[in-house]
C-alpha cells in the first residue's frame, strides 16, 4: 500500500510537471499576453467551481484562444464534490484536482470564490456582463424519504453524513451519535457504500487520509458494528459499482451477511447480463455465499426488496431506535423492473439511519427555468430552454448521477455546443462585455469580497501544514470565516 502511494506520488508530480509544460505550450501560442483588459474575445461566466465548472472551462479555453472564462463559486474553496464528496480513502480520484488547478491558473481563466450567485449577484446581472453564462452548480439538496420520523435525531441524509466526514462547513455541527450497534442505510449506490465503508473501516486506515479530525475521533469511539444497506429492488438493479463492492468485501475484520432468499433466480440470469452487471453480480453472489471470517467483529450486508415506511422512535419519542420496512416484489426485469408492495412489513432495530437515495438540485434564481419534478434546469443538449446565452453542465443539467468521467464528458458536450453557438453567430460577440471587472466592482458595492485562486492557495497551504502535523495529507478548515481570514491575510 505504501509503495503504491509512493509510486502514485511520483506519478502525481510527473503528471503535474507534464501538465505544466502542456499549459505553457498553450500560453506560448497566445504570445504569452498577460492581462486581458483589452481583450475583445468572448467572455464566459461559469457558476459553480466543481468538476462540471472546471471541465467546461477547460474545453472553452482550449477551443477558443480568445475566450476568457471566469468561474464563480459560493464557498471560498473550489472543487465541489471532488473535495466534499469523494471519500477520504479514495485519494487517487482526487488527482483530478491537479487538472482543475491548471485550468484555474490559466491566464485566461479566473476563479472567484465567496460569491453566492442568486443572492450576492443575480443571473441577469451576470448575463449582462458576459457573452454567455454556464450553470454548473450541481445538486446541494437531497431527496427525502417522505416517511414519518424522518426528522428524528439519529436520521441523516447521506449528503450530510458525507459532508460531515469530508469537512463541508455547513455540516460541521452534525455530531452523529455512533453509540448504537446497527446502522441502516437506505439506498445502494456508491454513496451508500462509501458511508458503509467509512463506518466500518479500521481507524488505522482512516487516520492517514484527509478525513476531518472530529469525524476521525467520532469514528474511533464508534460502537457501530453492523451496517445494513437496504434497496427497494433486487440484486440485479443495484446501483453501486464493482470497485466499491470489492472494497466492502475486502474490508479487514468484517464479514458479509446477506439473505440467500434475496438471491433466488439470480444465478440463472447471469449469462444474459452485459459484462459490467455480470461481474458485479458474480462478486455479490460470491460475498453472499462465502460470508467471511466468522470471528470478524463487524458485519455488513445488503437487504433487497425493502422500502422504508416509518422511522420508529424510542419510548421517549426523542430519537430513532428502529426502522419499519415494507417488503416488495419485483415486476418486470432488468433496469426497468419496478418494486411493488406486498403488504408485508419488517422492523429492524437500529440507532443510526442514513438515507442515501439521491442528491437534488435546487433553483438558483427566479430568472432561470427549473423543472421541479426532475429537479434540473430544463435544457436541450446544455442550452437552457427559452433562454439565449444561458447553458448548463453537470448534475444540474442531467440529474445527480455519474462519476467524474461522466461529468467530464457532459461538460465537454456543453462547451462544444457553446462554441458552436459562438461560431454560428447565435451569441453576439461583436458587443464588448466587461466580465469580471464589472461583477467584482458590483460585488464590492454590496460588501462582498471575492476569494481569488491565489487566496485559495493560501488556504490550501494552511490545510496541508496542519495535516502534516497530524500525519495526514491535509486538515481541512471547517469554518468559512477562518477560511476567509487566511485567504485574505
Partner 1 sequence: MAASAAVRSAVSLTQRFVRVSPDCSICPLYRLNACTGATDGFTAPSRRLRTSIGVWQSGDSSSPEEEERVVNVVYIDRCGQRIPVQARAGENALHLAHKHGVDLEGACEASLACSTCHVYVSSEHYEKLPEPEEREDDMLDMAPMLQENSRLGCQIVLTPELDGMELTLPKVTRNFYVDGHVPKPH
Is 232 labeled as ligand-binding? Answer: yes
Is 85 labeled as ligand-binding? Answer: no
Is 432 labeled as ligand-binding? Answer: no
Sign of CA dihedral 162, 166, 170, 173: positive
39 versus 401: smaller Cβ distance to partner 1: 401
C-alpha span between 322 and 320 (Å, rounded): 6
Give the shortest CB-335-to-partner 1 separation in angstroms.
7
Query: Checking DSSP bridges between strand 298-303 and strand 383-384, what pairing results, if any?
Result: unpaired
Is 20 labeled as ligand-binding? Answer: no
Burial degree of 399 (CB within 10 A; 0-12, 13-18, 19+): middle
| Contact criterion met (CB below 8 Å) for 103 and 182 | no
Give me 413's grid cell.
458536450
5 versus 223: smaller Cβ distance to partner 1: 5
Nearest to 172 by CA among 158, 182, 161: 161
Give the shortest CB-243-to-partner 1 separation in angstroms.
5
Give me 319's grid cell.
430519537
Is 35 labeled as ligand-binding? Answer: no
Sheet holding 320-331, edge to edge: 306-313, 320-331, 338-349
62 versus 458: smaller Cβ distance to partner 1: 62
Is 404 labeled as ligand-binding? Answer: yes
7 versus 267: smaller Cβ distance to partner 1: 7
Is 150 labeled as ligand-binding? Answer: no
Is 41 labeled as ligand-binding? Answer: no
Give the shortest CB-17-to-partner 1 separation in angstroms.
5
323 versus 384: smaller Cβ distance to partner 1: 384
214 versus 406: smaller Cβ distance to partner 1: 406
335 versus 347: smaller Cβ distance to partner 1: 335
Residues of the shown chain interacting with partner 1 in the complex, contacts defined by CB under 8 A: 2-3, 6-18, 20-22, 25, 90, 92-93, 95-96, 98-99, 189-191, 239-243, 246, 275-276, 279-280, 335, 381, 398-406, 408-410, 413, 416
Give the shortest CB-10-to-partner 1 separation in angstroms.
5
Give the shortest CB-34-to-partner 1 separation in angstroms.
19
Tell me the CA distances in angstroms from 28 to 56, 65, 106, 292, one per residue in order.
Answer: 22, 11, 12, 58
- Find the length of the chain: 489
126 versus 158: smaller Cβ distance to partner 1: 158
C-alpha span between 70 and 401 (Å, rounded): 26
Give the shortest CB-326-to-partner 1 separation in angstroms.
21
Give the shortest CB-41-to-partner 1 separation in angstroms.
22
Is 415 labeled as ligand-binding? Answer: no
C-alpha span between 108 and 274 (Å, rounded): 44
Contacts of 437-444 with CB under 8 Å at 24 or more apart are: 437/37, 438/129, 439/45, 439/70, 439/72, 439/112, 439/121, 439/125, 439/126, 439/129, 440/112, 442/121, 442/125, 443/115, 443/120, 443/121
Nearest to 187 by CA among 356, 340, 359: 356
| Contact criterion met (CB below 8 Å) for 261 and 234 | no
Give the shortest CB-15-to-partner 1 separation in angstroms.
4
Is 402 labeled as ligand-binding? Answer: yes
| Contact criterion met (CB below 8 Å) for 442 and 176 | no
Is 59 labeled as ligand-binding? Answer: no
274 versus 343: smaller Cβ distance to partner 1: 274
Is 368 labeled as ligand-binding? Answer: no
Concatenating the DSSP letter of every residue in 178-223 gives: --SSEEEEE--SHHHHHHHHHHHS-HHHHTTSS--HHHHHHHHT--
Give the shortest CB-209-to-partner 1 separation in angstroms.
14
| Contact criterion met (CB below 8 Å) for 22 and 422 | no
68 secondary structure, DSSP code:
E
Instruction: Please give the radius of gyration of the chain, using alpha carbons only, rounded to the nearest integer.
Output: 24
Known binding-site residues equal 52, 73, 81, 117, 188-191, 232-233, 244, 395, 402-404
Known binding-site residues for NADP(+) equal 188-191, 232-233, 244, 402
Known binding-site residues for FAD equal 52, 73, 81, 117, 395, 402-404
Amino acid at each position: 500500500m505504501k509503495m503504491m502511494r509512493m509510486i502514485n506520488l511520483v506519478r502525481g508530480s510527473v503528471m503535474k510537471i507534464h501538465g505544466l509544460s502542456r499549459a505553457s505550450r498553450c500560453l506560448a501560442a497566445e504570445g504569452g499576453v498577460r492581462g486581458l483588459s483589452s481583450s475583445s474575445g468572448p467572455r464566459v461566466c461559469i457558476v459553480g467551481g466543481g468538476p462540471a465548472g472546471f471541465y467546461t472551462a477547460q474545453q472553452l479555453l482550449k477551443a477558443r484562444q480568445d475566450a476568457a472564462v471566469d468561474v464563480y463559486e459560493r464557498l471560498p474553496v473550489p472543487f465541489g464534490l471532488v473535495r466534499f464528496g469523494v471519500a477520504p480513502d479514495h485519494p487517487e480520484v482526487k488527482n483530478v484536482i491537479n487538472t482543475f488547478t491548471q485550468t484555474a491558473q490559466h491566464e485566461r481563466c479566473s476563479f472567484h470564490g465567496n460569491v453566492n450567485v442568486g443572492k450576492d449577484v443575480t443571473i441577469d446581472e451576470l448575463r449582462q456582463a458576459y457573452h454567455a453564462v454556464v450553470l454548473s452548480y450541481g445538486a446541494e439538496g437531497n431527496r427525502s424519504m417522505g416517511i414519518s420520523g424522518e426528522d428524528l435525531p439519529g436520521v441523516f441524509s447521506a449528503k450530510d453524513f458525507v459532508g460531515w466526514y469530508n469537512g463541508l462547513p455547513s455540516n460541521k455541527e452534525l455530531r452523529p451519535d455512533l453509540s448504537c450497534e446497527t446502522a441502516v442505510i437506505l439506498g445502494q449506490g456508491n454513496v451508500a457504500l462509501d458511508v458503509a465503508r467509512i463506518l466500518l473501516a479500521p481507524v488505522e486506515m482512516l487516520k492517514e487520509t484527509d478525513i476531518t479530525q472530529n469525524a476521525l475521533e467520532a469514528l474511533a469511539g464508534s460502537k457501530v458494528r453492523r451496517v445494513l444497506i437496504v434497496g427497494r429492488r433486487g440484486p440485479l438493479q443495484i446501483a453501486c459499482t464493482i470497485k466499491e463492492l470489492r472494497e466492502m468485501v475486502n474490508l479487514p475484520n468484517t464479514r458479509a451477511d446477506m439473505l440467500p432468499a434475496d438471491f433466488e433466480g439470480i444465478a440463472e440470469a447471469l449469462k444474459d447480463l452485459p459484462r459490467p452487471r455480470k461481474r458485479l453480480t458474480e462478486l455479490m453472489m460470491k460475498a453472499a455465499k462465502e460470508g467471511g471470517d466468522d470471528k470478524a467483529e463487524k458485519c455488513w450486508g445488503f437487504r433487497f426488496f425493502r422500502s422504508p415506511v416509518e422511522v420508529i422512535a424510542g419510548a421517549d419519542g426523542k430519537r430513532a431506535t428502529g426502522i419499519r420496512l415494507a417488503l416488495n416484489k419485483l415486476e418486470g426485469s432488468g433496469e426497468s423492473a419496478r418494486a411493488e408492495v406486498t403488504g408485508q412489513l419488517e422492523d429492524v432495530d437500529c440507532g443510526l439511519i442514513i438515507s442515501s437515495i439521491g442528491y437534488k438540485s435546487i433553483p438558483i434564481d427566479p430568472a432561470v427555468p427549473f423543472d421541479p419534478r426532475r429537479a434540473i434546469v430544463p435544457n436541450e443538449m446544455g442550452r437552457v430552454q427559452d433562454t439565449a446565452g444561458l447553458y448548463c453542465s453537470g448534475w444540474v443539467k442531467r440529474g445527480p448521477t455519474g462519476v467524474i468521467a461522466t461529468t467530464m464528458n457532459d461538460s465537454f458536450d456543453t462547451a462544444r455546443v457553446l462554441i458552436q453557438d459562438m461560431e454560428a453567430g447565435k451569441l453576439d460577440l461583436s458587443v464588448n462585455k466587461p466580465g469580471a471587472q464589472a461583477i467584482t466592482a458590483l460585488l464590492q458595492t454590496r460588501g462582498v469580497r471575492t476569494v481569488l485562486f491565489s487566496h485559495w492557495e493560501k488556504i490550501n497551504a494552511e490545510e496541508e501544514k496542519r495535516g502534516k502535523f497530524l500525519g495526514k495529507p491535509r486538515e481541512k478548515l471547517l469554518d468559512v470565516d477562518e477560511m476567509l481570514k487566511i485567504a485574505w491575510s
